[in-house]
Structure 1
Amino acid sequence: MNSQIILVITLNFIISLIGTLAYSVRLVGVRTGKIAVSFALFNMLMLVSRIAVTFQVPILTKYVESNPGAGDLLIIFNIIILISGVATVFGAILIPTFQRILYKGVMSFSIDRSLSKLILHSFSKSGIRYIKECVSVPAKENVRQISYRKLPKRIMVYNLAAVALITVGSLAPIYAGFLEPDLRATCITLSPVVNGIATILMTIFIDPQLSMMTDDVIDGKCTQEQFRLCVIGLVGSKTIGTFASLLLLLPSSYLIVYVAGMI
């Protein structure tokens, strides 16, 4: 496999992994009562994700331009999506470990109020020892006790659709440019339109509900168990949405070609 594709797959894995871990930040914020600090520390990981996104699209576009006659391009794009799904599953498994590490980081930062000291401590012997002690996997008992009837199905559906659109949002325009080389530039510029629809879904239907539920937990109107169930539902819908984007890649690409031709 081409080194460019390996790099894209690696970057995509990082992006999907961090995106999945993001769902647990609110849980840590609720447990510590320091929601703003929790998001502030997590933003360091989000910075890594944003850098990965910045390089992913140009590298993949360059590969497509350099291999205009590649017959296995659709397979490569599907592999990229499959790796994203695997990263999402891996991220879901890592959530208990990540919660414990972030919880400790939030509490330490609240006391020392020094980001540099927190980073240095993370690489110290005691910091590495604590990280090892935090390693955990979802307990089978907790999984069995999940009340699937109480899952927020409406939010899960919106989240599934948003995740599927975001997953193909950067890939479909590039593949559309491969299908119609004369409209390549127009197809690629349509990427923000696809991602914009996903952003609208998140901004209107998902984020407000999560924010209200977070405040309800802080105010005692909602239990942490109910909130945890909501997060589990979102992680599950993200996993399904990522794999579901396999079905959207080809139709979305042809739709983008059609729209590009109509503009």
Structure 2
Amino acid sequence: MEFITEKVILIALFIFIIHSIETLAYAVRLSGARVRMIASALSLFNLMVIVSRLSNMMQQPFTGSLIDTAPKENAMSFVESQFRVLIGSSTLGTLLGILLLPTFVALFSRAIIHLSEAKGSIPAVIKLGLNLDFIVRGLNHIHLPRLSYLKDVRFIDFPFKLFIINMFITAIYTTGVLSALYAALLAPERSSTAIMASGLINGIATILLVIFVDPKISVIADNVVNNRGGYQNLKGVSLMMVSSRLLGTCLAQLLFIPGAIYVAWFTKFIA
């Protein structure tokens, strides 16, 4: 498999970490509701989002360079194979995030309490997290998901429309940049226009996420803190949302080429 180069492995590792972090972000809300400190939890949530976005920005130039270094013969099939590996790494990263979810709910619960004790100082919490004694005690919280974790969770109460919306938004976010880059090969005369469209695609996906998904999860978390809803309901919603993320990364494999064709077609109205 000549298309799997060191650069592809490096980019795949970045994407793997990005999707793991974004999946584990759901653990922050669960932890905030668990210790009844939602506002403090949002500070940690924002920190994770910044780390994820920064990692995403760092990998994009490397991903773009795969187009420049592709062989002239069979360039499209070569790049397609590389990009499908990258999409696959997003699926594996999301799966790892799901497996680590119970562990990070416990760890974030402690981190939120320490954030309160540190009077809101993120650097102080990070310094504490790097303490060897803290790390050793944190290892005791590591455990894989068990069937008991689903106890009293009622999936029947979950809004499945939100499940579908989140799945499609995740698919668009996962393949947006890659489809735009591939569109540059489909329409080489408008390659720059196609590549710059990647920001628009991811921007739209982010806006849809903020409008349709995040507020509903936040309201459910607030209901738990205000005793208007049960923690098990929030846990069920969070589990369904990470599952929809996982399916969304799989759906991205199907949307990759159609998305590239659409971007290439759309650039005709811009260039």
TM-score bucket (shorter structure) = over 0.9
TM-fit CA distance, 1:40: 1.4
Mapped partners of 1:188, 1:99: distance in 2? 38
SS at match of 1:134: coil
Distance 1:222 1:65, change over 3 A: same
TM-fit CA distance, 1:146: 4.4
Q: Are 1:210 and 2:217 matched, yes or no?
A: yes
Q: Say how many residue pairs are matched.
A: 263
Q: Are 1:3 and 2:6 matched, yes or no?
A: yes
Counterpart amino acid of 1:220? Answer: N
Q: Are 1:112 and 2:106 matched, yes or no?
A: no
Partner of residue 144 from structure 2, selected from 126, 133, 137: 137
RMSD: 1.7
TM-score (norm 2): 0.91
Counterpart amino acid of 2:189? Answer: D
Mapped partners of 1:126, 1:14: distance in 2? 25
Distance 1:42 1:149, change over 3 A: closer
TM-fit CA distance, 1:173: 0.3
Mapped partners of 2:49, 2:219: distance in 1? 23
TM-fit CA distance, 1:68: 5.1
Mapped partners of 2:141, 2:207: distance in 1? 36
Mapped partners of 2:191, 2:71: distance in 1? 11
Counterpart amino acid of 2:12? Answer: I
Q: Are 1:89 and 2:92 matched, yes or no?
A: no
Q: 8 Å contact 1:30–1:217 — kept in the other structure?
A: yes
Distance 1:84 1:140, change over 3 A: same
TM-score (norm 1): 0.93
Counterpart amino acid of 1:3? Answer: E
TM-fit CA distance, 1:123: 2.4
Partner of residue 194, structure 2: 187
TM-fit CA distance, 1:157: 0.9
Partner of residue 43, structure 2: 40
TM-fit CA distance, 1:75: 1.2
Instruction: Out of 24-33 and 34-43, give the one that drifted further.
Output: 34-43
TM-fit CA distance, 1:216: 1.6
Counterpart amino acid of 2:50? Answer: L
SS at match of 2:203: helix
Counterpart amino acid of 1:112? Answer: A
Q: Deviations over 1:104-130 (max 9, x none)?
A: 111112113343443232222321111
Q: 8 Å contact 2:25–2:48 — kept in the other structure?
A: no
Q: 8 Å contact 1:170–1:191 — kept in the other structure?
A: yes
Partner of residue 226, structure 1: 233
- Give runs of aligned pairs for residues 1-263 of structure 1, distance below 5 A: 1-67=4-70, 69=72, 70=75, 71-113=77-119, 114-143=121-150, 146-263=153-270
Which 5+ residue runs of structure 1 have no aligned equivalent? none
SS at match of 2:145: coil
Q: 8 Å contact 1:161–1:198 — kept in the other structure?
A: no
